[in-house]
Structure formats: structure tokens, C-alpha cells
Structure 1
Amino acid sequence: MRMTAPTPDSSPAAAPARRRVLSGLGAGTALGAVAVATAGSATAAPTAAPAATPAATPAAAPFAAATTTTDPVLHLLRRATFGPTPALVAEVRKTGTTAWLDAQLAPLTAVPDPAMDALLKRWTRLGWKTWQVRERLPDTDRWAVMMEVVESHLARALFSRRQLLETVVDFWTNHLVVPVPSSEVWDNAHLFQRDVVRRHALGRYSDMLNAAARHPAMLKVLDNADSTKRAPNENYGRELLELHTVGVGNYTETDVRMSARVLTGLSVDGESGLFSYKPQRRYVGPVKVLGWSDPNPVAEDGVAVATRYLTYLAQHPATANRIARKLAVRYVSDTPPATLVTKLAQVYLANGTAIAPVLRALFLSPEFAASVGQKVRTPYEDALASCRVLGLTPEPAPTSGDSNLRHLFWALGSFGQAPMGWPAPNGYPDVAAAWNGASSTLNRWNFHLGLAGNWTLKAMTRPAVTTFVPSPLPSTYAALVDALAARLFVTLTAAQREAICRFVDHAPSDPLRAGSAAVTWRLPSIVALLLDSPNFAIR
């Protein structure tokens, strides 16, 4: 069962004028073309997520005309966080990028996060065990804990100081896919996130893979809970090879059948909802997958055999290469250099599948340093980065389930990328070509304007955009636009600067006076245009 996300709350756009200025902001780019075609409408129907990952295109090719800074601090924070903020940029400039990175790779000990820890106490049901969820929630409220999962996921991404951890958690959430909300995991999705994804996000992938195979959420979503020796269900056995480990081209259909047999017996207890090993369902006899084999002589040893198999897959060179490449696609480029992928795979194997050393090697690599401008934010990342750079703060605890975080969840669904919302086991695509749809883009623009004008997510307080205007007042319109762009970490071309000035009916060199429309009622629109630009879209 899945729900349809309603249209997010957003304010009307000043359509004709925005159409002209957005064309100037993105002339010659895919985003600029979309602006010309679609900015005349204030709203658009929610767009569905892409049906499949498209073929990779050269990095951020659709945004080739976008400009971004080569500042190493901003480059790191665009990739290793959900968006830089003025406070975070100042912190990293003070500590240095390597020291900040090392702390982020040991977040539980090196990055105190008391404000986030206090905020998480709001979602009390995340600590419930499966039987408590089943006993305490009526049938009419079965989605309650799952909504706490996505709300807390968004809260951490927005407000946690452990930003790198949150991006990695999101990466693994999109790798070991358990769709939320979903009727199959209403009583255990929160425990999958806690015990599988978060617990092992920066640890060893072999541990995460084994934990997933023992979790009711994965076993139910991929149908292994119903697999038996007489009728092995191949769904989990196949996805384990195709998506979770070695990848397409590295296994045969015989491997898939054997993989399914190895996993028989790993099931779920119908009464408790907990993981249950059922030896009566276990296939017994020799099994062989790729270069691994086991006599598998007795049903009672099925868990141990499956553990050896999963550990073998996690340590397979093809898995190392696949995980390395996926991490490089997430943090470096849509088409990462083969040299980098090879190097990261070697680090992965040399460290017993540990992820933190791989990420350290990635972020300190020359390939990463040279990748400025080669990634584009997904709709999800764009929304979070917009909230973060505008300084949104957590809302007071809502008295009902109608929280701003839930509004944000539904809004992201209208962009085609609600967190944990991808229904297929292959996860959301992470290449620029997948997210160039006109409807999704227009929804983002309306979202930016709603944020800047304080019409959207109003319970999350934020500084008034008037505080972004320097004092003393800039002398010209160009100087004002430059100051706002710097505050939002956007690097403009001369043509883009002029386009925004023309939007408020002035030349860049015109003198700016106190009380002018550009620093009063039209200021939110200028801020929104800067967030609309291809430059802000660069990850």
C-alpha cells in the first residue's frame, strides 16, 4: 500500500517576470530552457519519480553554464553535508577541512550534538519494540511510527551537526531499500533504520549486509520470509547479487537459484514480527555461488552458512568495485574516474569492508578536489540545502501529527523524491539527467519562493531575509545582488547578475536607496531567484 503525496504548500509566483529573469539566469542550460517553458505557471501537478536510472551522462552536463567557486571548504560542504550554512563554513575555515572531515568520520565520539539529541526525544515511538508497536497502535493508526521515521530522518538531515553521517545514512537507505511508508514494514521500519543502517553506516559493510539479512523489514520487502526449500523465492537472492553486492554481469541464473537456497530459513515469526530462523524451511545440500561453496549438511546450521555466504559477498572484489563506484557517484561525479574507483575499492578490501576509510580516501583524493561542479543536487538535496542556508530552525513540538516536517515530506514527494519513498529495490537515481523534469523543477522554484517569503514551513522560524542585506546598504543594485549571492553561497556570472537587477527594473550600476522595492517587498523574490539558479543547484 502506498499513499499519494498532496501538493505542498507554496505561494504564487510572479510568473511573467520570473520567466524572463530565470531565462537569464540559466541561458543555454537545461534549467534555463525549462525556465522559459514553464515559469509562466505558478503551480504544476506533482511529478512521479523517474521509472529507471538513465544512462550516465558527463557529470553535470545539463548545468554546464553554471558557475561555482573552487573554494575547497564550500566544495567539501556541498558534497559532505546537506548544504553549507554560514556557521558551518566559519567552523570549517577555523578547524581546516581535514580536521573537520576526521571528526565527521567519528561522529559519535568527536562531534557532540546535544541539540539534535534533545530534538530526537520528540519521536518517542522510535524506541518501541515491534511487539509494542503492534500492541499500542490501533489499526487506524498503523502509519504513525513510519511517519516518525521519515520526520526524524528529515530533522537529522536538516539540523544535525553530524552532517557527513546523515549523508551516508541517506546513501545506505537508498542502497538497501526498504520503502517507507509501506504496509509491509509498519511495525519495524524504525528498527531497520536504527539497527541496520545507522548502526553500521560508517562501519563494515559485511556487518550491515548480515544485519539486513536478519531483519524482518528486508526479509518481508524482498519476500524471503515466505521462501521455503520446496519453493525458494528468488527475489532476495537475486537482489542480493544484483543490487546489494557484486552487480549485474558478475553472476549467472544458476547463482541466483543457489543464492535463494542459501537464504531459505531466514524468516519472520508471524506472532512477534521478529526475525526467526525456521530450519524446517531450510534447503540442505551442497551450495555454490560464484567462487564460494559450502556442504550445507544440516538444517540447524543454516544461519551460520548464510553468514559465511553474506560475508563472502561483502568481501568480493566485484562488490568492492560496486560500492566504491556508488560512493564515487554520490560524492564525486556522475561518471567518476576509473582510477578513483579502483583506489577506493582497494581501500575497502584492505580495511575489511569498513566504509569510513573509503570515505576519507575519497574526500582527500585529487579526483575529488578536481570534481568541482560535477554533481547536481537532487530535488531532495535542493530542498534541504535551501532550508539550511536560509537558517530554518526546528519548530516547537506540534500538538498534532500535522508538523512542518511532515509537510516537507509531502512536498518532497511532489518533487519526485520523498525520503525512503522509492518503491523499487534499486533506489533513487543519483545522476543529473534523472532530475531535469519541468514539473519537478517548477515545484522547486515555488518551494524556494515560499521559503524566502516565509509562506512555507512557517512553524520553522528563520531569520528575515532583510537580515541578509548588509549594513551599510550596498551602493548599487549589483552590489546588493552580489551580497545576497555571497550569503547564499552562489557564484554569479555578470549576465546572471544583470538579469536579477533587471528583474527589479534596474541596471546593475543604478544607485540603491533605502526603502526601495529590492530591499523590501521584492527582496524575497530576489533571494528565491538566487536559489532557482543553476549555480545553487550544483552539489
Structure 2
Amino acid sequence: MAKDRPALLPPSQRHLVTRFGYGVDATLARDVRRAGGAAAWFEQQLTRPGSFPDASAAAVRRWWPDLDRRPGDLWQRQVTEVRGGWQVMEDYGRWLLVRRIRTRRPVHEKMTEFWEAMLHVPVSGDAHFTWRVDYGDTIRRHALGRFDELLLATTTHPAMLIFLSAATSTKRAPNENLGRELLELHTLGAGSYDEDDVKASARILTGWHVDLWKTWARSYVKEDHWTGRVRVRGFSHANRKGDGRDVTREYLRYLAHHPDTAHHVCQRLATKFVRDDPPRALVRRLAKVYLRNDTAIVPVLRALVASKEFRASAGAKLRDPSEDVVATYRALGVRVGRPSRSDSAANAMLWQASSLGLSPHAWPRPDGTPVTDDVWASPARALGSLGMHWGMAGGWWPAQGLRYREPSAWVPARKAVRFEDLVDDVSRDLLHRPASRRLVEAACLATGCRAREKIDREHGLYEWGFPRLLAAVLDSPDHLAC
């Protein structure tokens, strides 16, 4: 063997931390073992995430100072051509990717990503970019809380109001965009409402405003709120007051607690974390947990990972573009530093994700980043992943602002090892799992080595061919699937 083989997590534990994380590395495996196993680790991640120090992940926010500028300041910098909103949003995507590489709290990070995708405000847009970072921060605060509180915070947030045209909606001209998407995408689901419900939903939400193109301040304008009885499904309210904020709160609470919303939320959770066609029985069980616990998300996640359907779903999901990029950096143990030039790795990561199909939260439509595999299971995506893995396996691109490991990390200085053992060592290191016969055969084809061939530091594999071995491991289903 090339070195002492690291202790591996059992397959069932690896499945849990892989599905709710961004790739198993030595730090994550150590956290799991110290917690007493994957189940105990998951419970700590849900209820005591602060028990996992995360200063390294938190520190990278300072690399992109525009992320902490006020909306009015961001807008002035755009109109005076100091820095465009699209550049700030690129920084936001880069921050998310680097944070996901470094974090020791992947469950919180994963759920933040999940809600940002479901309650979607794209990072593109000349208006809502001003509030988009704050929107993400808002979701982060509620990611492991109650859905009714999250729904209120996101529906009335300036970024959502601007994106779906509710920021200028008035009683004289109610805009139906947010009222409709709130019902279809965020709560009840398609086919669970009619056009009268949409109209009433839009009227309830009038009054919430953002001072567009000027101060970008958020406000509530009572004079713009539509008054009069409103009805949406089983929700009815006299709505007599000019200040309709209480009506909004009651309405959103009603939607959050509706059985159709419970099904919609739990269907998406099961699709993301179990498989593309989750069993209806599982979704029904999760929905009951959701309603029984006053829309709290943690009990639902507990029930999901405890289910037989989750246990049987190992390897059934395909990593999306951003997940592939992050998992590849984590697997290779690449150290990413603060960007000092345009082609620094911390900047280039965003281009890598885009080349695979999508950078974080750049999906242009209101329905948000898909959680089904069929969107990403294309020849173009496969070729993009192969190219990214090859460039990083050789340390060719990105080449600035990061540090790759050398082949000497695997090949011993004084002892020859069989190639099949070397493949196993690399698989255990990169994927935290022993090499399958299929992976050894693929590595033999990729490198031209025989399984029992002796490899030392005089061998051509070490001298010039090692990227082929690393790429073969990264291209395998064991890395691309989770």
C-alpha cells in the first residue's frame, strides 16, 4: 500500500453525510467520528451547529467587501460605473462556493441552499441585486427553523418584492406575479388554486414597497393597501384596515400550515434528499410530521433520514454543477486562498460551475434551481465535468491562488506499490470509499497500467501520468453520484 489507509466511515454513515454535505473529507470524517457516528453528528448539525467551529468558512466573507454594502450604496456604485450589480452577484456566488468548501456545518449550509432554490430570487437583475445578499442572509437565519416564519420573512423581503413586481403593486393596480408564485411555487403547488385566489392573494400583498431607483428603502404604505373582504381557498378576512400587515401575516401563516403546502414542501425535500421519484407514502409521512410540529423543519429532516426510503437511496442522486465543483475541490484537498487577480481560483470556481451548466442561484425563472437529476444528466454536462476534473487533476486550471497536492502524497518514496493498491489508496483519500473492481478497471484503461504493476517514483505514472489516475477517480459514478 502507498500509505496507512485512513479509517473509513461505514457505507450507511457515508451516505448520510454525503447526501447532506458537499463531499467527505478528513475533517468531516473526524467530526462524524467525534460525534459518535453519523446519526449523532446529524443531530448535532440540526440542533447544535455551533458545536462545530466554523471560523474558516465565516472568514471568507471579507474577501468580497461589496457583499456587506447597503442597497443604496450598491446602486450608486452601479450607476456611477464603479462596480456593476452583476459583478457583486458574481462575488456572491463565489462566496457561497468557497464557503461550502470550508464549512464544518454542511447541513445548515445545505438547507440554506435548498430554501434559496425553492423560494427563488435569481442573482441576475438590475433592481433586486441590491437586496439579494441580504435575502440570502435572511434565509440562512431561518434555514433550520419553522417554515411559516421563513415564508413571512421571504415573501415580504425587498428582494422578493422587487423580483416579482410586488414592490410597486397598489390597490389601484395590484400586480399578480407574487400572489401567483406564492401559491404555485412557494406553498400550495400547481393546480391547487384558481384565478380568483390569485387576485385575492395579490390584493392582500399590496402595501409592501421598496423605493426603487432612489433610496431602495423598504416600507409599508397604508394608502396603497387594497381593503375589502378577501378569500383564498379556506382563508377569509374582512381586511378593513389600511394597514394590512396583520392580514399578510395571517394569510401566510394559513398557507404555511395548509396540507397542500405540507405536501409540496415535503415532496421537494424528498426529491432533493432521497430520489427523483420519492414514494408517495414517504411524502405523506413527512407531511404529517411537518403539520404535527407547527411547520418546524428539523423534525421533518429527522424523519426523512430515519426512513427506509432514505437508507435505500445511496448513490441515487446526481450532483448538480455547483455540488460537483465543491465536491471536487474538497476531494482533492485543494487549498483556496483570497483572490488577488481575476483568474484566482476563488474567482474561477464560478466559471467552472457555469461551464457545467449553472452557477449558484443563477436559474433565470421563478421556479428555482431544479432538484431533479434529468436537468443535469446530459452529454454536455458530462463533458463539462470531465473537462473540469481533468484540469484540476493536473493542476492546470485554475492555477492561481490555490495549492494542489503532489503525486508524492500517494506514492511512497522508498517502496513500490501495486497499481490496484494505489488506486484503492486514491479512492479512499478522494472518495472516502475503497476502490471497486469497476474503478480499478477504469483506472487501468485511463493510465495504461496493469492492476498488479509495480509503481514507484521512477515510474511514468508518477512522472507524468498521475493526472490520468486522479481524473479517472473523479469521473467515476462514485464521485458524480451522491
Under a length normalisation based on structure 2, what TM-score does the superposition of the two structures give?
Answer: 0.92
Contact 2:120 2:366 in 1 (8 A): yes
Deviation (angstroms), 1:166: 1.0
* Structure 2 alignment gaps of length 5 or more: 1-8
Amino acid at match of 1:117: A
Contact 1:259 1:289 in 2 (8 A): yes
Deviation (angstroms), 1:401: 5.6
Contact 2:67 2:88 in 1 (8 A): yes
Partner of 2:222: 279
Contact 1:179 1:420 in 2 (8 A): yes
Note the 1:106-505 alignment, pairs <5 A: 106=47, 108-135=49-76, 139-140=80-81, 141-143=83-85, 144-195=87-138, 197-270=139-212, 271-300=214-243, 302-395=244-337, 397-400=338-341, 403-458=344-399, 459-469=401-411, 473=415, 475-489=417-431, 492-505=435-448
Q: Secondary structure at the match of 1:121?
A: helix
Amino acid at match of 2:384: N
Partner of 2:465: 522
* Equivalent-residue separation in structure 2 for 1:330 and 1:473 (angstroms): 45
Q: 1:465 to 1:183 in 2, by over 3 A?
A: farther
* Equivalent-residue separation in structure 2 for 1:304 and 1:495 (angstroms): 60
Deviations 1:282-309 (A, max 9, x none): 2111000010000011222x11111110
* Equivalent-residue separation in structure 1 for 2:351 and 2:442 (angstroms): 32
Q: Secondary structure at the match of 1:333?
A: coil
* Equivalent-residue separation in structure 2 for 1:524 and 1:338 (angstroms): 44
Q: Secondary structure at the match of 1:188?
A: helix
Q: Secondary structure at the match of 1:296?
A: coil
* Equivalent-residue separation in structure 2 for 1:527 and 1:517 (angstroms): 15
Partner of 1:39: none
Q: 1:163 to 1:403 in 2, by over 3 A?
A: same
Contact 2:129 2:159 in 1 (8 A): no
Contact 1:266 1:276 in 2 (8 A): yes
Q: Secondary structure at the match of 2:454?
A: coil
Amino acid at match of 2:299: P
Partner of 1:45: none
Q: How many residues align?
A: 468
Deviation (angstroms), 1:176: 1.2
* Equivalent-residue separation in structure 1 for 2:131 and 2:421 (angstroms): 53
Contact 2:442 2:472 in 1 (8 A): no
Note the 1:44-55 alignment, pairs <5 A: none
Question: Once structures 1 and 2 are overlaid, which stretch shifts more, 88-97 or 524-533?
Answer: 88-97
Deviations 1:133-183 (A, max 9, x none): 345565321324323322221121111111111111111111111111321
Q: Secondary structure at the match of 1:226?
A: coil
Deviation (angstroms), 1:469: 3.4
Partner of 1:75: 15
Contact 1:213 1:266 in 2 (8 A): no
Deviation (angstroms), 1:80: 0.9
Q: 1:483 to 1:399 in 2, by over 3 A?
A: closer
Deviation (angstroms), 1:119: 2.8
Q: 1:380 to 1:119 in 2, by over 3 A?
A: closer
Amino acid at match of 1:83: G
* Equivalent-residue separation in structure 1 for 2:29 and 2:355 (angstroms): 31
* Equivalent-residue separation in structure 2 for 1:108 and 1:122 (angstroms): 24
* Equivalent-residue separation in structure 2 for 1:145 and 1:380 (angstroms): 18
Identity between Structure 1 and Structure 2 (%):
37
Question: Once structures 1 and 2 are overlaid, which stretch shifts more, 123-132 or 150-159?
Answer: 123-132
Deviations 1:296-325 (A, max 9, x none): 11222x111111101110111111111111
* Structure 1 alignment gaps of length 5 or more: 1-68
Deviations 1:416-467 (A, max 9, x none): 1110100001112222222122222111111111111111233122322430
* Equivalent-residue separation in structure 1 for 2:379 and 2:435 (angstroms): 23
Alpha-carbon RMSD across the aligned residues, in angstroms, is 2.1
Question: Once structures 1 and 2 are overlaid, which stretch shifts more, 255-264 or 457-466?
Answer: 457-466
Deviation (angstroms), 1:509: 2.6
Deviation (angstroms), 1:384: 0.9
Q: Secondary structure at the match of 1:325?
A: helix
Contact 2:228 2:240 in 1 (8 A): yes
User: After the TM superposition, which parts of structure 1 deviate over 6 Å for at least 4 consecutive aligned residues?
Assistant: none
Amino acid at match of 1:355: I
Under a length normalisation based on structure 1, what TM-score does the superposition of the two structures give?
Answer: 0.82
Question: Once structures 1 and 2 are overlaid, which stretch shifts more, 226-235 or 155-164?
Answer: 226-235
Contact 1:158 1:384 in 2 (8 A): yes
Amino acid at match of 1:527: L
* Equivalent-residue separation in structure 1 for 2:174 and 2:76 (angstroms): 32
Deviation (angstroms), 1:535: 2.3
Deviations 1:116-135 (A, max 9, x none): 23332333333332233345
* Equivalent-residue separation in structure 2 for 1:465 and 1:432 (angstroms): 33
Q: 1:213 to 1:499 in 2, by over 3 A?
A: closer
Question: Once structures 1 and 2 are overlaid, which stretch shifts more, 361-370 or 384-393?
Answer: 361-370
Q: Secondary structure at the match of 2:336?
A: coil
Amino acid at match of 1:91: D
Deviation (angstroms), 1:70: 6.9
Amino acid at match of 2:53: P
* Equivalent-residue separation in structure 2 for 1:314 and 1:98 (angstroms): 29
Q: Secondary structure at the match of 2:144?
A: coil
Contact 2:124 2:364 in 1 (8 A): no
Q: 1:169 to 1:260 in 2, by over 3 A?
A: same
Partner of 1:56: none
Contact 2:325 2:352 in 1 (8 A): no
* Equivalent-residue separation in structure 2 for 1:403 and 1:215 (angstroms): 34
Contact 1:113 1:161 in 2 (8 A): yes
Deviations 1:470-509 (A, max 9, x none): 6775632222222222222255443442232133323323
Partner of 2:3: none
Q: Larger relative CO (CA 8 A, sep 6+): 1 or 2?
A: 1
Partner of 2:4: none
